[in-house]
Structure 1
């Protein structure tokens, strides 16, 4: 991997906590009763296990589940993350939330709520469903391609404006005067979709119904290409481990070059963190990883667009160390959550820490983990639009003339 730009600092690890694991037959090897998958105790135990193992971030996948013969139901990702918030103390919680079939105002307020209940440990994994089946299920017109990118960008822009619509000191709680809010520090966002918007157009007036989140702006996580210029974290996938290293190098060069277009690809946000996506199958309790994978695939073959590591914990340590020399972080998708998490906690993360390639676990915000400053509200800056109080006053004056 010589000649590849290197971050030059320790990285972080994220773990996907959806269901029983990334493999569709994972439920057959889960170490819990079937009826425990969808209860709060399971959410609590997996989140705490990931935190105890030393993972920096937990992600929660969402969306319609396969209609095949395997698991056919899941709890909402945002609700799972919100449940995990008060029972954890250091791990960052990043639910996947769709931008096409979910109202942007509700997305923004629910994510802001998650940031509050987690103490600033929230992020947003942006998704944009391009499935005609999913569109029909929710009674919406089907969009794909560039239209999906536009819908995702619009939803993120609305959310960012709503998070800024309350200035940080808008809540004054002045008992003497009976004023709870300084209405001059609440702002309309006045968003309207452009005329060439492919999906149903909408407008959002604002302000939000929730004060500005603890982080100001929640970090936005997206697959490379979905939010070319507005993601704080870019997820990079490739079909094989060797191609993953090359893809990471290309993305890293693009960001190091100030976000320039590389190889005909999209323009990348200049300050975005680069995170590798990796499926993981490990040796466990005397059974080789390849034998375990063959056993799982005999029930239901595993199809994934991500690179897949199959091997020992020691081999994974070496590979992750290589990836973290190029990427800011790696998100692991365990084949069977209960099995892989045990091996990762006992054999992989401790050795990575010994080698000094992982950031220390700290009780901070997601922005702090990424090295991002807390931004000032765009509406609180000099020259920004007047607050609701001033707007109301202007309306009264106008009505008298």
Structure 2
């Protein structure tokens, strides 16, 4: 592993994220999980996983989306999508941010924006968006369009994010009046048409639900998906940085940060790490060999295989370069137990982790302020207030 950054190197925010989809990130995780395969898809399993992650002190949980690249799970067809699962988990958590993976290519941004805004309300402002761009021909056929590949994926992802951000801004914060005495529900002068036609999407708006609690949900993107210009323009609030091996993570993070220098507001950098730990008398290497004996783990991420103490040392170094780390446990219940018992308490003792604060928004965790609507400055001056009655609002919906 590289040496620690120099004194003038910005230190990270100390965030730990956990991928908690299914039985684990290894494709054969269901064979080693203490949860029977059928129960992995049940609500109780998700409830237990998010509560365990929150109790352990993780700051955020990501949920992968069935069918997207990198998730070759034979049970995908039986699973609710990531956004639906995040909405289920929202009301039962207090400090854990929930970040579902949502495709930007074959899902209309109008629907994405409204569903994510709803998640922000359900979770009390703890929602994020992990953007994905599917190159799948099957996904394209399902919606009756041509398959998008190469640079087209990057353009569609950036356009989808931009449309969604504008839709979130299409309601000003105080657009909802709820004045029972006059029967007014909305100030229509504080709803705005976004009028976007960027070649990929033509959307007028406004959204059909009020502005999210955070104003703008934080957008998390894999590094390299969006163009440098889109990142510099603020398309992403955090980038996921991968490397072929743990010892290369620091260099990859440093290179990514250098590429952002001078390019506008810099997004947070979150390192990606697969994790296999010693557990219950079995070495991590033996556990991984047994899992790979069923199905090989073909992952683009750095892979840590070892003891909890060794992982703690690695994370100590990585967190000096990164704003956070997203851990992908090979087998969720087994590795999460070791992380909760041995790794997170020691990192916290060393002062490397940000505190977990009940009801803090995901933007606050990332150190981001709450932005004003971009359309607020164009509002009708005070005194020229329009409205829509509660009866009309019902008809509109």
TM-score after normalising by structure 1: 0.89
User: Matches of residues 1-400 of structure 1 in structure 2 within 5 Å?
Assistant: 1-3=3-5, 6-8=9-11, 10-64=13-67, 71-73=75-77, 74-194=79-199, 201-227=200-226, 228=228, 229=231, 230-255=235-260, 257-259=261-263, 270-363=265-358, 364-381=360-377, 383=378
Shift of 1:37: 1.4
Unaligned segments of structure 1, at least 5 residues = 195-200, 260-268, 393-401
What CA deviation, in whole Å up to 9, does each residue of 1:110-143 have, x standing for no partner? 0000000100000000000122343234432111
Return the alpha-carbon distance in structure 2 between the equivalents of residues 221 and 141 of structure 1: 26
Alignment CA distance shift 1:52-1:12 (3 Å): same
| Cα distance in 1, alignment partners of residues 380 and 236 from structure 2 | 26
C-alpha distance in structure 2 between counterparts of 1:338 and 1:351, whole Å: 20
Per-residue deviation, 1:342: 0.3
Question: How far off is 1:361 after superposition?
Answer: 0.5
CA distance in 1, matches of 2:38, 2:347: 35
Encode CA deviations 1:139-189: one digit per residue, 9 max, x unaligned. Answer: 321111111111011110111011001000001111222111110000011
Q: Which moved more, 1:123-132 or 1:320-329?
A: 123-132
Q: CA deviation at 1:2?
A: 4.4
- Separation in 2 of the partners of 1:54 and 1:348? 11
Given that 1:85 and 1:118 are in contact with CA atoms closer than 8 Å, whether structure 2 keeps it comes out as yes
Distance 1:91 1:302 in 2: 28
Conserved 8 A contact 2:170-2:191? yes
Call closer, same or farther: CA 1:279–1:170 in 2, change over 3 Å.
same
Q: CA RMSD in A?
A: 2.2
SS of the aligned residue for 2:112 comes to helix
Q: What secondary structure sits across from 2:309 in the alignment?
A: helix
Structure 1: how far apart are the matches of 2:47 and 2:124?
A: 17
Task: Classify 1:147/1:187 alpha carbon distance in 2 versus 1 (closer, same or farther; 3 Å).
Answer: same
Structure-2 separation of matches of 1:68 and 1:180: 47
Task: Output the CA distance in 1 between the equivalents of 2:211 and 2:304.
Answer: 41
SS in 2 for 1:93: strand
| C-alpha distance 69-60 of structure 1, shift in aligned 2 (>3 A) | closer
Is 1:99–1:127's contact at 8 Å kept on the other side of the alignment? yes
Question: Does structure 2 conserve the Cα–Cα contact (< 8 Å) formed by 1:58 and 1:92?
Answer: yes
- Runs of 4 or more off by more than 3 Å in structure 1? 2-6, 65-73, 136-139, 383-390
C-alpha distance in structure 1 between counterparts of 2:351 and 2:5, whole Å? 21
**Structure 2 residue matching 1:37: 3-state secondary structure:** helix
Instruction: Provide Cα deviations, 1:173-218, integer angstroms capped at 9, x if missing partner.
Output: 1122211111000001111123xxxxxx431111111101100000
